[in-house]
Amino acid sequence: MNRIQTIAGLRENPDVDVLVIGGGINGISVFRELALQGVDVLLAEKGDYCGGASAALSRMVHGGLRYLENGEFKLVRESLLERDRLLKNAPHYVAPLPTTVPIFDLFSGIANGAFRFLGLSRRPGRRGALVIKTGLAMYDFFTAARRIVPTHKFRSRAETLKVWPAINPAIRNSATYYDAWVSHPERLGTEMLRDTMNEKPSARALNYARISLGDAGLALNDGLSGEPVAVKPRLVVN
Protein backbone atom coordinates (compact mmCIF):
# COMPACT_ATOMS: atom_id res chain seq x y z
CA MET A 1 0.00 0.00 0.00
CA ASN A 2 1.57 3.29 -1.11
CA ARG A 3 1.32 6.70 0.57
CA ILE A 4 -1.58 7.97 -1.52
CA GLN A 5 -3.58 4.80 -0.89
CA THR A 6 -2.84 4.92 2.84
CA ILE A 7 -4.00 8.52 3.26
CA ALA A 8 -7.06 7.96 1.05
CA GLY A 9 -7.97 4.91 3.14
CA LEU A 10 -7.74 6.92 6.36
CA ARG A 11 -9.98 9.63 4.91
CA GLU A 12 -12.56 7.00 4.04
CA ASN A 13 -12.26 5.17 7.37
CA PRO A 14 -10.17 6.76 10.18
CA ASP A 15 -10.67 3.80 12.55
CA VAL A 16 -7.56 1.76 13.33
CA ASP A 17 -6.87 -0.77 16.07
CA VAL A 18 -3.42 0.50 17.05
CA LEU A 19 -1.52 3.69 16.20
CA VAL A 20 2.23 3.45 16.74
CA ILE A 21 3.91 6.86 17.04
CA GLY A 22 7.61 6.80 16.20
CA GLY A 23 9.40 4.95 13.42
CA GLY A 24 12.65 4.06 15.14
CA ILE A 25 13.73 0.48 15.67
CA ASN A 26 11.38 0.07 18.64
CA GLY A 27 8.37 1.52 16.83
CA ILE A 28 9.08 -0.59 13.75
CA SER A 29 9.46 -3.70 15.92
CA VAL A 30 6.08 -3.07 17.59
CA PHE A 31 4.52 -2.39 14.18
CA ARG A 32 5.98 -5.63 12.80
CA GLU A 33 4.83 -7.80 15.70
CA LEU A 34 1.27 -6.45 15.57
CA ALA A 35 1.00 -6.58 11.78
CA LEU A 36 2.21 -10.19 11.60
CA GLN A 37 -0.42 -11.12 14.18
CA GLY A 38 -3.16 -9.66 11.98
CA VAL A 39 -3.75 -6.46 13.97
CA ASP A 40 -4.88 -3.39 12.02
CA VAL A 41 -1.90 -1.15 12.81
CA LEU A 42 -0.75 2.24 11.57
CA LEU A 43 2.80 3.53 12.08
CA ALA A 44 3.43 7.29 11.97
CA GLU A 45 6.93 8.80 11.94
CA LYS A 46 7.42 12.59 11.85
CA GLY A 47 10.72 12.38 9.93
CA ASP A 48 12.87 9.69 8.34
CA TYR A 49 12.47 6.15 9.57
CA CYS A 50 15.25 5.39 12.07
CA GLY A 51 16.45 8.96 11.67
CA GLY A 52 16.87 9.73 15.37
CA ALA A 53 18.33 7.62 18.16
CA SER A 54 18.20 4.46 16.02
CA ALA A 55 20.78 5.95 13.64
CA ALA A 56 23.00 7.40 16.39
CA LEU A 57 23.75 4.34 18.49
CA SER A 58 27.17 2.88 19.30
CA ARG A 59 26.56 0.24 16.58
CA MET A 60 27.64 -2.51 18.96
CA VAL A 61 25.54 -5.67 19.15
CA HIS A 62 26.75 -7.21 22.39
CA GLY A 63 25.66 -10.15 24.49
CA GLY A 64 25.84 -8.41 27.85
CA LEU A 65 29.23 -9.68 29.02
CA ARG A 66 29.39 -7.23 31.91
CA TYR A 67 26.10 -8.52 33.35
CA LEU A 68 27.77 -11.82 34.21
CA GLU A 69 29.48 -10.13 37.13
CA ASN A 70 26.07 -9.19 38.55
CA GLY A 71 24.74 -12.74 38.18
CA GLU A 72 22.21 -11.71 35.53
CA PHE A 73 22.60 -14.93 33.55
CA LYS A 74 19.11 -14.87 32.05
CA LEU A 75 19.75 -11.41 30.60
CA VAL A 76 23.09 -12.53 29.17
CA ARG A 77 21.52 -15.61 27.53
CA GLU A 78 18.76 -13.49 26.01
CA SER A 79 21.22 -10.87 24.75
CA LEU A 80 23.48 -13.51 23.23
CA LEU A 81 20.50 -15.15 21.51
CA GLU A 82 19.47 -11.81 19.98
CA ARG A 83 23.06 -11.10 18.93
CA ASP A 84 23.35 -14.48 17.21
CA ARG A 85 19.97 -14.09 15.51
CA LEU A 86 21.11 -10.78 14.03
CA LEU A 87 24.38 -12.34 12.87
CA LYS A 88 22.43 -15.16 11.19
CA ASN A 89 19.51 -13.18 9.76
CA ALA A 90 21.29 -9.99 8.68
CA PRO A 91 24.89 -10.85 7.72
CA HIS A 92 24.81 -8.01 5.17
CA TYR A 93 24.56 -5.51 8.06
CA VAL A 94 25.80 -7.36 11.17
CA ALA A 95 29.29 -8.85 11.47
CA PRO A 96 31.51 -10.30 14.22
CA LEU A 97 33.46 -7.71 16.21
CA PRO A 98 36.68 -8.75 17.99
CA THR A 99 37.38 -6.80 21.18
CA THR A 100 40.71 -7.02 23.01
CA VAL A 101 41.05 -6.39 26.74
CA PRO A 102 44.48 -5.48 28.17
CA ILE A 103 45.22 -7.19 31.50
CA PHE A 104 47.82 -5.89 33.93
CA ASP A 105 47.67 -8.29 36.88
CA LEU A 106 46.54 -11.74 37.95
CA PHE A 107 44.29 -11.63 41.00
CA SER A 108 42.62 -8.18 40.90
CA GLY A 109 38.84 -8.10 40.99
CA ILE A 110 38.20 -11.41 42.75
CA ALA A 111 36.83 -9.92 45.97
CA ASN A 112 35.08 -7.05 44.20
CA GLY A 113 33.59 -9.47 41.68
CA ALA A 114 32.23 -11.64 44.48
CA PHE A 115 30.63 -8.63 46.16
CA ARG A 116 29.06 -7.52 42.87
CA PHE A 117 27.79 -11.03 42.16
CA LEU A 118 26.09 -11.12 45.60
CA GLY A 119 24.61 -7.66 45.06
CA LEU A 120 26.62 -6.17 47.92
CA SER A 121 28.48 -3.64 45.78
CA ARG A 122 28.28 -1.85 42.45
CA ARG A 123 31.73 -0.28 42.71
CA PRO A 124 33.83 -0.70 39.56
CA GLY A 125 37.34 -2.03 39.83
CA ARG A 126 40.24 -3.42 37.86
CA ARG A 127 39.82 -7.04 36.78
CA GLY A 128 42.75 -9.39 36.70
CA ALA A 129 43.50 -12.35 34.47
CA LEU A 130 41.63 -14.93 36.61
CA VAL A 131 38.40 -12.91 36.69
CA ILE A 132 38.49 -12.09 32.97
CA LYS A 133 39.36 -15.67 31.98
CA THR A 134 36.46 -17.01 34.08
CA GLY A 135 34.01 -14.50 32.64
CA LEU A 136 34.98 -15.14 29.03
CA ALA A 137 34.83 -18.92 29.52
CA MET A 138 31.26 -18.55 30.83
CA TYR A 139 30.43 -16.23 27.93
CA ASP A 140 31.58 -18.88 25.45
CA PHE A 141 29.71 -21.62 27.35
CA PHE A 142 26.34 -19.88 26.88
CA THR A 143 26.68 -20.18 23.08
CA ALA A 144 28.32 -23.63 22.92
CA ALA A 145 25.27 -25.15 21.23
CA ARG A 146 25.31 -22.60 18.37
CA ARG A 147 28.85 -21.48 17.71
CA ILE A 148 28.52 -18.48 15.37
CA VAL A 149 31.52 -16.38 16.45
CA PRO A 150 34.96 -17.65 17.52
CA THR A 151 35.64 -18.40 21.17
CA HIS A 152 37.84 -16.04 23.16
CA LYS A 153 41.64 -16.10 22.87
CA PHE A 154 43.96 -15.50 25.82
CA ARG A 155 47.50 -14.26 25.09
CA SER A 156 50.65 -14.07 27.15
CA ARG A 157 52.63 -10.84 27.48
CA ALA A 158 55.05 -11.94 24.76
CA GLU A 159 52.25 -12.89 22.36
CA THR A 160 50.43 -9.63 23.04
CA LEU A 161 53.52 -7.48 22.39
CA LYS A 162 54.18 -9.42 19.20
CA VAL A 163 50.70 -8.62 17.88
CA TRP A 164 50.57 -5.04 19.24
CA PRO A 165 54.17 -3.84 19.76
CA ALA A 166 53.02 -0.30 20.69
CA ILE A 167 50.82 -1.43 23.60
CA ASN A 168 51.71 -0.56 27.20
CA PRO A 169 54.78 -2.73 27.97
CA ALA A 170 53.55 -3.23 31.57
CA ILE A 171 50.84 -5.55 30.25
CA ARG A 172 50.64 -9.09 31.66
CA ASN A 173 48.10 -10.69 29.31
CA SER A 174 45.44 -9.79 26.80
CA ALA A 175 42.13 -11.41 25.98
CA THR A 176 40.18 -11.14 22.74
CA TYR A 177 36.50 -12.04 22.61
CA TYR A 178 33.86 -11.62 19.93
CA ASP A 179 30.56 -9.81 19.90
CA ALA A 180 29.11 -8.07 16.84
CA TRP A 181 28.53 -4.68 15.25
CA VAL A 182 25.91 -3.31 12.86
CA SER A 183 27.15 -1.23 9.94
CA HIS A 184 23.87 0.48 8.93
CA PRO A 185 21.27 0.24 11.72
CA GLU A 186 18.84 2.55 9.93
CA ARG A 187 18.86 0.27 6.87
CA LEU A 188 18.20 -2.73 9.11
CA GLY A 189 15.13 -0.90 10.42
CA THR A 190 13.78 0.07 7.02
CA GLU A 191 14.39 -3.47 5.75
CA MET A 192 12.26 -4.81 8.61
CA LEU A 193 9.57 -2.31 7.66
CA ARG A 194 9.58 -3.30 3.98
CA ASP A 195 9.60 -6.99 4.86
CA THR A 196 6.55 -6.52 7.08
CA MET A 197 4.60 -4.62 4.45
CA ASN A 198 5.48 -7.19 1.80
CA GLU A 199 4.18 -9.98 4.02
CA LYS A 200 1.16 -8.00 5.26
CA PRO A 201 0.07 -5.60 2.47
CA SER A 202 -2.74 -4.28 4.67
CA ALA A 203 -0.25 -2.91 7.23
CA ARG A 204 0.14 0.86 6.94
CA ALA A 205 3.17 3.04 7.68
CA LEU A 206 3.86 6.70 6.91
CA ASN A 207 6.93 8.83 7.43
CA TYR A 208 6.80 12.64 7.43
CA ALA A 209 3.50 12.25 9.24
CA ARG A 210 3.14 14.08 12.54
CA ILE A 211 0.40 13.20 15.02
CA SER A 212 -1.35 16.08 16.78
CA LEU A 213 -4.17 16.34 19.30
CA GLY A 214 -7.04 18.71 18.59
CA ASP A 215 -10.60 19.32 19.74
CA ALA A 216 -11.90 16.63 17.38
CA GLY A 217 -9.33 14.03 18.51
CA LEU A 218 -6.15 12.83 16.89
CA ALA A 219 -5.04 14.04 13.49
CA LEU A 220 -2.29 12.81 11.19
CA ASN A 221 -0.63 15.79 9.49
CA ASP A 222 0.82 14.81 6.13
CA GLY A 223 4.20 16.51 5.87
CA LEU A 224 4.13 16.39 2.06
CA SER A 225 0.68 17.79 1.31
CA GLY A 226 0.29 19.70 4.57
CA GLU A 227 -3.24 18.38 5.00
CA PRO A 228 -4.51 16.79 8.24
CA VAL A 229 -6.31 13.45 8.30
CA ALA A 230 -8.42 12.29 11.24
CA VAL A 231 -7.25 9.12 12.98
CA LYS A 232 -9.33 7.15 15.50
CA PRO A 233 -7.19 4.42 17.11
CA ARG A 234 -8.43 2.11 19.83
CA LEU A 235 -4.94 2.11 21.32
CA VAL A 236 -1.91 4.39 20.95
CA VAL A 237 1.68 3.19 21.43
CA ASN A 238 3.93 6.23 21.75
In this predicted model, what pLDDT tens digit does every residue of 26-46 receive, in sequence order? 999 999 999 999 999 999 999
**Residues 71, 163: one domain?**
yes
**Residues 87, 162: one domain?**
yes
Q: Quick one: pLDDT band at residue 217, thresholds 50, 70, 90? A: confident
> What does the alpha-carbon distance between residue 189 and residue 27 come to, in Å, rounded to a whole number?
10
Domain that holds residue 153: 60-182
**Residues 153, 212: one domain?**
no
Bigger pLDDT: 146 vs 119: 146
Return the sign of the alpha-carbon dihedral for residues 30, 34, 35, 37: positive
**Residues 89, 168: one domain?**
yes
**Residues 65, 47: one domain?**
no
Cα 83 → chain centroid: 8
Domain count, the chain: 2
User: Residue 106: is its pLDDT beyond 90?
Assistant: no
> Using an 8 Å Cβ cutoff, are 35 and 105 in contact?
no
**Residues 91, 51: one domain?**
no
**Residues 103, 178: one domain?**
yes
Of 136, 154, 182, the domain-final residue: 182
User: Residue 223: is its pLDDT beyond 80?
Assistant: yes
> Using an 8 Å Cβ cutoff, are 55 and 172 in contact?
no
Average pLDDT across the chain, whole number: 90
Return the sign of the alpha-carbon dihedral for residues 155, 158, 164, 168: positive
**Model-level pTM?**
0.79
Nearest-Å Rg of the Cα atoms of the chain is 24
In this predicted model, what pLDDT tens digit does every residue of 141-188 receive, in sequence order? 999 999 999 999 999 999 999 999 999 999 999 999 999 999 999 999
Q: What is the CATH number of the domain that holds 190?
A: 3.50.50.60
**Residues 140, 193: one domain?**
no
**Residues 94, 143: one domain?**
yes
Of 138, 161, 182, the domain-final residue: 182
Q: Which residues pair with 101 in a beta bridge?
A: 175
**Residues 44, 123: one domain?**
no
> What does the alpha-carbon distance between residue 97 and residue 95 come to, in Å, rounded to a whole number?
6
